[in-house]
Amino acid sequence: MSLYQKSFLKLLDFSPADITALLDMAAELKRQKKAGIPHRLCEGKSIALVFEKTSTRTRCAFEVAAADLGMHPVYLDPTGSQIGKKESIADTARVLGRMFDGIEYRGYGQEIVEELAHHAGVPVWNGLTNEYHPTQILADFLTIRERFGRLHGIKLVYMGDARYNMGNSLMVGCAKMGMHFVACAPKEYFPNQELIETCESIAAETGAILEFCDNPDVAVRDAQVLYTDVWVSMGEPDEVWEKRIRELSPYRITMQRLEQAGPDCVFMHCLPAFHDLKTTVGKQIYERFGISCMEVTDEAFESERSIVFDEAENRMHTIKAVMAATLVED
Ligand code: CP
Ligand code: NVA
């Protein structure tokens, strides 16, 4: 099915064939970029990048991909626009839709990006909401495909807060692509029951396996990927740190966990990651709680098994594919 003029808001809206087509397109655009072959498929178009939360990878991926495709990106930072404060989402969408060919949005509730897409009249791309981070999953899946040559049957264990954007999106993506997904965390950190049921019905069609397990020794067995994310996400209050550190520390990814999983198991993380004391937040947490890393040890992060920078690079190639697929008529 053509994705022309379609918004990219969450993976639930896309079929396994659509996701495969986007990954194939990203791989081809990556090949062209490495070979120095120009691919200015969207020459002369303009896009708006609306960020209500901060970003390094997503913003840079959209800007570089836009330039490679021949487009002009305009960045609106978390404080610099009227959106939501002096102007409603619907009004902002109708203004931006008159000036731009596509809009990226990073912010809070999923309903905001859905409303933006409803009113904009041009494709809207979700650059992260509280509930979903779909462009990240495309990058993760391209990276897994590059490493293992396939997605179907790959066992991916997500350790940590699986109720939020990364846990939810990985579960949906794995269900769609026939993978073996395990959320490994205390029970209260599992995705919500409604989303689990939706994904279970997708899994029944695709052959995916979905599991929820609070015992990391059991969960990691024979995994190809151990995946984690920060324990406290953007926009969450400072007060939650203590409980998160207490409850999620047993789910930290260590060399021992990777070895327990098996010889071919890799470490993945959407980044940014707290693996040492070289960040302001990392230092503050050390001063308050005495821990020098959080969701992953520095040793595991820096090890041969860590493919986080391949993953980060692939943000750009996959975001480029999403823009090209939705802006160019096929
Ligand atoms: N992974 C990711 O979305 O990174 P940024 O927050 O830097 O965009
Ligand atoms: N769960 C994290 C993902 C960052 C890419 C957050 O929302 O802050």
Mean pLDDT per 10-residue segment, the chain (330 residues): 96 98 98 98 98 97 98 94 90 97 98 98 98 99 98 98 98 99 98 98 98 98 98 97 98 98 98 97 96 97 98 99 97
Q: What is the rounded end-to-end Cα distance, in angstroms, of the chain?
A: 10
Please name the residue ranges forming H helices in 207-297: 216-219, 241-248, 255-261, 280-289
Asked if 11-133+313-327 and 155-223+225-263+266-304 have one fold, the answer is yes
User: How far is residue 40's CA from residue 71's CA, in Å, rounded to a whole number?
Assistant: 8
Which CATH number applies to 11-133+313-327: 1.10.540.10, 3.30.70.60, 3.40.50.1370, 3.40.225.10? Answer: 3.40.50.1370
The pLDDT assigned to 61 comes to: 99
User: How far is residue 312's CA from residue 273's CA, in Å, rounded to a whole number?
Assistant: 12
pTM: 0.98
* Structural contact between residues 193 and 280, judged by C-beta atoms closer than 8 angstroms: no
Indicate whether residue 260 lines ligand 2 (CB < 6 A). no
Q: What are phi and psi of 63, to 5 degrees?
A: -70, -45
Tell which one of 135, 159, 165, 248 to mutate to probe ligand 2, the residue whose CB is within 8 A of the most ligand atoms: 165
Residue nearest to atom 7 of ligand 1 (CA): 56
Ligand 1 atom showing the smallest separation from residue 312 Cα: 1
The pLDDT assigned to 81 comes to: 86
The pLDDT assigned to 95 comes to: 97
DSSP structure class, residue 87: B
**Ligand with smallest separation from the Cα of 308:** 1
The pLDDT assigned to 142 comes to: 99
Q: Which residues are catalytic?
A: 106, 133, 136, 229, 270, 315
Q: Cis link prior to 16 (omega < 30° from 0)?
A: no
Indicate whether residue 108 lines ligand 2 (CB < 6 A). no
> Domain spans of the chain?
11-133+313-327, 155-223+225-263+266-304
The pLDDT assigned to 270 comes to: 98
The pLDDT assigned to 1 comes to: 79
Ligand 1 atom showing the smallest separation from residue 133 Cα: 3
Which CATH number applies to 155-223+225-263+266-304: 2.40.50.140, 3.40.50.1370, 1.10.490.10, 3.30.1330.10? Answer: 3.40.50.1370
